[in-house]
Amino acid sequence: MRCCLNSWHLFFHRSKWVPRGDYIASNTDECTATLMYAVNLKQSGTVNFEYYYPDSSIIFEFFVQNDQCQPNADDSRWMKTTEKGWEFHSVELNRGNNVLYWRTTAFSVWSKVSKPVLVRNIAITGVAYTSECFPCKPGTYAAKQGSSFCKLCPANSYSNKGETSCHPCDTDKYSGDVLGEQDMEEWGTSKHRKERGGLFCWPITEDLGFLLLFACLLW
């Protein structure tokens, strides 16, 4: 199994951690349960969380690995039991891929039911909260910076790469797609064009053969 993933993921094994309101509770059976987050940091950061660990009959460990399954050098993975309620824990994270593990293994003592480990308020710094932007392709546009998608230009308009709006064609030109071969003879008429623009405007009176050759060369 690969240790690193490209985005946030939360995994529960068969013996599992269970969400309970504002915290997550570990297993209490005699199995190992692992809670795992995978994240790619754009800069060095930290992971902070609070935990409640009242029962020493459960082994509780927290550790961090990179995408090569190598643990952090200064990783103290064995957690100490809490005596006065919730405890705060913080670990530094390196830039790049980090996989975070919360792992518990319970051992029954004289049929005693173990008290679960509780974890809450997990916070990670160093994460990029804005995704990388790419310019819109010719024939499309985005009115605002940071838009989630690019819109197609309307019929009889065009745009260049990275445009925030489309430009109208001159009155003797048009922009649009032909629906089929049967419509080739009326290339320039609006009823045979899809309702979208393109990369540039075509002269309506242009020779059809030249246009097709030019379009093929561009393609």
| Mean pLDDT for all residues in the chain | 75
Domain count, the chain: 2
| % of the chain exceeding 70 in pLDDT | 70
Residue 52, pLDDT above cutoff 90: yes
Instruction: Decide if 5 is inside a domain.
Output: no
Domain region containing 212: 140-218
Cα dihedral value 123, 126, 127, 130, nearest 10: 130
| Alpha-carbon span 157 to 200, nearest angstrom | 8
Question: Mean pLDDT over residues 77-100, rounded?
Answer: 90
The residue that leads in pLDDT, 175 or 198, is 175
Answer for the pair 133, 162: CB distance below 8 angstroms, yes or no.
Answer: no
Q: What's the pTM value of the predicted model, to 2 decimals?
A: 0.52
Question: Which tokens hold the place of 20?
Answer: 């309970």
| Alpha-carbon span 4 to 15, nearest angstrom | 21
Residues 57 and 88 occupy one common structural domain: yes
* pLDDT digit string, tens, across residues 96-126: 889 999 999 887 666 677 889 999 999 988 8
pLDDT the model gives residue 103? 92
Residues 31 and 104 occupy one common structural domain: yes
Residues 104 and 78 occupy one common structural domain: yes
pLDDT the model gives residue 1? 30
Confidence of residue 7 (pLDDT cuts 50, 70, 90): very low
Report the CATH number at residue 113: 2.60.120.200
Residue 219, pLDDT above cutoff 50: no
Residues 151 and 70 occupy one common structural domain: no
* Residues whose CB is less than 8 angstroms from the CB of residue 84 and which lie 6 or more positions away in sequence, other chains included: none
Q: Which of 57, 90, 124 is the last residue of a domain?
A: 124
Residues 74 and 22 occupy one common structural domain: yes
Residues 22 and 71 occupy one common structural domain: yes
Residues 118 and 51 occupy one common structural domain: yes
pLDDT the model gives residue 25? 92
* pLDDT digit string, tens, across residues 132-177: 677 888 888 998 877 778 888 888 888 888 889 999 988 888 787 5
Residue 128, pLDDT above cutoff 50: yes
| Alpha-carbon span 163 to 142, nearest angstrom | 7
Residue 8, pLDDT above cutoff 50: no
